[in-house]
Structure 1
Amino acid sequence: MHRRVVMPLILVVMGALIAPRVLPEYYLSLLNYVGLYSIVALGMVLLTGVGGLTSFGQAAFVGIGAYATAVLTTQMGLSPWLGLMAGLVITGLIATLLGLLTLRLSGHYLPIGTLAWGISLYYLFGNLPNLGGFSGISHLPAITLFGWTVSSSQDFGVLIWVIVGAVMWLLSNLLDSREGRAIRALFGGSVMAEAMGVSTARSKLLIFIYAALLAAVSGWLYAHMQRFVNPSPFSINMGIEYLFMILLGGASTLGGAVLGAAMVTGLKEWLQGILPMLFGQNGNYEAIFFGGLIILCLLYARQGVWPVVVSRVPFLRPRARNLTALKTAAPLPQKAPLPAGEPLLVAEGVTKKFGGLVANNNMSLTIKTGQITALIGPNGAGKSTLFNLLTGLLPLTSGKIEFRGQRIDGLSSRKIAALGVSRSFQHVRLIPTMSVLENVALGAHRRGLAGYIRSGLHLERAEEASILAEAARQIERVGLAKHMHDAAGSLALGQQRIVEIARALCADPYLLLLDEPAAGLRHLEKEALAELLMRLRAEGMAVLMVEHDMDFLMGLADYVVVMEFGQKLAEGLPEEIQENPKVLAAYLGGDVA
């Protein structure tokens, strides 16, 4: 577990044990609401702060959890625990349906979609006769646990904050795993994640469901603490307040979720007492105050208050990962090497049209194992488009692509990655806030099996150690060992390109596609890269490389394919290409020997 989560978790546990014994009833009740809101906010950190999916509808999921237990316990005489189970099942089903519908939206359409169903569910709560209308349902029974009746504020304080601590522990474990890296890659890195074998649609749906289930747990606790449920606490206004909480506290941090819940709850209570004295009894003035506060936060503390606190308190700062356990980790299974010189990827008649623009026209090439193939041509020749066609990021207009005898055109990029194709990108695609080690480990995503439940319960440590050990090995292999714990975004552009190569190698591919890998590298770095590629060739790996540095390329490539205007201009051995008049005229220039 990350140290950045340990301290907030310790504070939460201490608060759960001490607060009920020392706080007056009013403040204890206020603290209980902070805990209830924290559970929802923690789910929103996973969904919005880390996953990048903005939702205004979480209050509706709180309502589903509350109404499920209210109906089952008051109208059917079932226990609150069965009400909890039913609420989780109903919430899970509704969240799955809503997720499948709304998560297909992108940009500003997604939050608008969540706004729509959030409002719809709120009015559904108030208009269904069996739910008591806007008058609500009362006389909910108390929660009992092994003879302990949870009825007083002190009792609920212990239960609520123990659950908050458990949720923080589970989410911390999840985010510190292969599935957690996949979640963190969703925010601005979906294309790269798919190319590394991550099912981004699955990850989005799962975190959407997880956040909804946590909201339902909060609703269940709220219903039995109040012994009364009506639609008012589940309106869209409350959904906006949950967003305020994580924005103020720190949208991407678990400690920030709790801090934000405390700030909004405390400020709201204080303002409701102070503002009417200043401006009169009528009016919702605290909403105006919170609007201004959010603007100030976005201007001066865009990451939230918690990161500011962490930056000023040394013992809260994250420390480098201890790699001692990685030295004894079992190696990941590796693919059996293929015989050298065999056709690995065969593309025939590949054509790609964007409306009237023909980016690739009847392109064909064959890549063999144990061979470095160079793909060259002027800017705009269609090289990167061909890369995207070969790796499934773009669909073909016509033609076919086979990999190891299997048709792969039409397959998704993650399925192609699973077959043994890995790549870098023309424009570097790393998660800048993640360490080099974590970025490279993302390449081994498909080499692990642990899912959300095992990761959350911390039962995948052996597999995680093997993945990180493989990532560390690849980082050392490319010569960036001293930068292993640095944030990837802090590296120079050339070093970031090397990190991408290490990530691609971490996937254990048969075929490595490199898009301008030497761009931004200094002379010695290019020599080190050339040595690495020659070692990979000797190991039987196939490499397809786009590069503009002819001195670097011609001394390294076994075979060269030249493109111009989306078509193949020439192909052959490097020395043949350097003497080809068409190539000299179109690209290399007459002074090339």
Structure 2
Amino acid sequence: MATMLRNKLFWVFILVVFALPVLPAPVRTPEYWVTLLNYIGLYSIVAIGLVLLTGIGGMTSFGQAAFVGLGAYATALLSTGYGLSPWLGLLAGLLVTTVAAMLIGAITMRLSGHFLPLGTIAWGLSLFFLFGNLDVLGKYDGINGIPALDLFGWQLDSGRRIYYLIGVVVVGAVISVQNLLDSRPGRAIRALRGGGTMAEAMGINTAWMKVVIFTYAAILASISGFLYAHLQRAVNPTPFGLNYGIEFLFMAVVGGVAHVWGAVLGAAILTVLQDWLQSFLPKLLGSSGDFEVIVFGVLMIVLLQFARDGVWPFLARWFPERRRADPVRDVPALPQRSRPTAAEPLLVVDRISKTFGGLVAVNEVSFTVKAGEIVGLIGPNGAGKSTTFNLVSGVLQPSSGTVMFHGERIDGRPARAIVRRGIGRTFQHVKLLPGMSVLENVAIGTHLRGHSGVWRSIVRLNGADETRLLAEAARQIERVGLEKHLHDEAGSLALGQQRILEIARALCVDPTLLLLDEPAAGLRYQEKQALAVLLRKLRSEGTSILLVEHDMDFVMNLTDHLVVMEFGTKIAEGKPAEIQANPAVLDAYLGGVE
């Protein structure tokens, strides 16, 4: 009943918003308010791109106003200077923006920390001064006399007439971003916030995904600029400077930087508030000035203190919840890679070393993992086990030595290239996205087994591919015993369950070798027994396993072979019974035995 009510309220709200410009007298909406609504729509389109870029992708940009300028100037120049159709101006603006965004993004998106926002300020200012210094663009006077849009013979020559086009674009932007986020590339985008290490270990090219979302956010800003130019019928550099870039980011943050509809809400709040303050504050203070900027600053500090997720979460309860459907099960399984012959050397680590300055973390370690066996890598804390794992999986590059997998040398390759060859892994410190469901987290592991790209996902032509990927994720969740938590947020699980989730995600890679970094840590006794049963089952199905673990009872009763490390060096190797009796091992763990 509550859901039905929310649905009705939502559609009533949408109907009222769309009916505002055509209400008859005496309730006819004033032209001023129609203009304000148009600006809210234009700002929303830019802020939606910032939700994708900043709220989801985790990359702060202050330069989006410059991309608005590219779209505005492209259509202004072609329609006034060359007499071309504004719609050709739209295409030209999108082309110029795409090329510029990809070039700028390829450089800027490699920055991190405070260097990234500083980089966006730099290129934003560069484009702003470019607009103001080119003769062909009218310098700081800009371009006037831009023609009105003509849509199927209907002249959009007033705010009321262009209102619906802007509204349709806003709704289209919301739907496109939501479609993208609920897809294979969308999960890759969301994985960026979980850290590049996890994303790369699932086969995601993080550098490319950053450029992709940077470019799409720029395209949305360019479309907003196109509409702005034909609404205003004139352009000049002023609205495309750093101040507006900051305001766009404020809109996304105030509304809720991680929520697509929050961008629309934030644009509405700041646009209406700014308009009201510009009228109210001079009367209150008795002088004119940009006092609203001071108020915005104070409000932003208060918001960041008490509502860091923005205003949207407080209103979301009145809007319909998105239904989370169970994955379709009766679909063909994804293709699986062939398994190697039992006892065949699968992973051969030969004298690998890793130094960090003067510290030798791993010193000429060698061992072999054969097909169909479970190998344990053990040793005291600080022995270099996790570093060795990272050398095998491509997170770190060895200083010397070689790593061979299936007869192919893989040391020196990035993690995403190694996982493509059939090595899946978990992490010592759990790496997942706590706000995403268990199903979505596990489905990140299917990234390399899907084919639908960004543009097919935006227009929702990825249905068949998406169905198979989610079905595979559900199968692996059921396989590890987490089916009751399919739609639960991953962050709500206990630590032990989160580790099991990581195993399910790694299994989605369809690995022939599984690297497990302390998989039993945080598990209760019964959970450890269930994990041991699962790992033995995987071994019987042809999956080899290399694991790091501190629980000696768990390791001794599970593994076929053990490698013992201390201070970065291998001190023993053999079957569990041999290791238990090895004096060097006893000395490492117990400090010597009389």
1:401 lines up with 2:388 in the alignment: no
Deviations 1:449-506 (A, max 9, x none): 1000111111111111111111111111111111111111111111111110110011
Letter in 1 for 2:154: W
- How far apart in 2 are the matches of 1:153 and 1:122? 27
Letter in 2 for 1:17: F
SS at match of 1:252: coil
Contact 2:587/2:593, CA 8 A, preserved across alignment: no
1:42 lines up with 2:53 in the alignment: no
1:285 lines up with 2:285 in the alignment: no
Mapping of 1:320-399 within 5 angstroms? 321-323=324-326, 326-399=328-401
Pairing partner for 1:167 from 159, 163, 173: 173
- How far apart in 2 are the matches of 1:473 and 1:190? 26
Q: CA deviation at 1:442?
A: 0.4
Pairing partner for 2:449 from 438, 441, 447: 447
Matched positions, count: 586
SS at match of 2:546: strand
* TM-score normalised according to structure 2 size: 0.96
Letter in 1 for 2:47: A
SS at match of 1:344: strand
Deviations 1:358-386 (A, max 9, x none): 00010111111110000000100000000
- How far apart in 2 are the matches of 1:389 and 1:72? 55
Q: CA RMSD in A?
A: 1.8
SS at match of 2:146: coil
Mapping of 1:454-473 within 5 angstroms? 454-473=456-475
Q: CA deviation at 1:329?
A: 2.5
Q: CA deviation at 1:281?
A: 2.9
SS at match of 2:369: strand
User: In the alignment, which residue of structure 1 is the partner of 2:156?
Assistant: 150
Greater displacement, 328-337 / 364-373: 328-337
Pairing partner for 2:184 from 174, 178, 181: 178
Mapping of 1:528-543 within 5 angstroms? 528-543=530-545
Contact 2:328/2:467, CA 8 A, preserved across alignment: yes
User: In the alignment, which residue of structure 2 is the partner of 1:217?
Assistant: 223
Greater displacement, 361-370 / 181-190: 181-190
Q: CA deviation at 1:154?
A: 1.5
User: In the alignment, which residue of structure 1 is the partner of 2:26?
Assistant: none
User: In the alignment, which residue of structure 1 is the partner of 2:22?
Assistant: 21
Deviations 1:246-284 (A, max 9, x none): 111000111100000000100000000000111133321
- How far apart in 2 are the matches of 1:164 and 1:404? 51
* Pair 263,343 (structure 1): closer, same or farther in 2 beyond 3 Å: same
Contact 1:59/1:239, CA 8 A, preserved across alignment: yes
Q: CA deviation at 1:10?
A: 5.0
Letter in 1 for 2:361: A
Greater displacement, 17-26 / 369-378: 17-26
Letter in 2 for 1:458: R
User: In the alignment, which residue of structure 2 is the partner of 1:546?
Assistant: 548
SS at match of 2:329: helix
SS at match of 2:301: helix
Q: CA deviation at 1:6?
A: 8.6
Mapping of 1:484-563 within 5 angstroms? 484-563=486-565
Pairing partner for 2:69 from 60, 63, 71: 63
User: In the alignment, which residue of structure 1 is the partner of 2:253?
Assistant: 247
Mapping of 1:248-327 within 5 angstroms? 248-310=254-316, 312-313=317-318, 315-319=319-323, 321-323=324-326, 326-327=328-329
- How far apart in 2 are the matches of 1:229 and 1:353? 57
Letter in 2 for 1:280: G
- How far apart in 2 are the matches of 1:508 and 1:419? 10
1:76 lines up with 2:78 in the alignment: no
- How far apart in 1 are the matches of 2:194 and 2:509? 21
* TM-score normalised according to structure 1 size: 0.96
- How far apart in 1 are the matches of 2:356 and 2:274? 53
List gaps (5 residues or longer) in structure 1.
none
Contact 1:12/1:161, CA 8 A, preserved across alignment: no
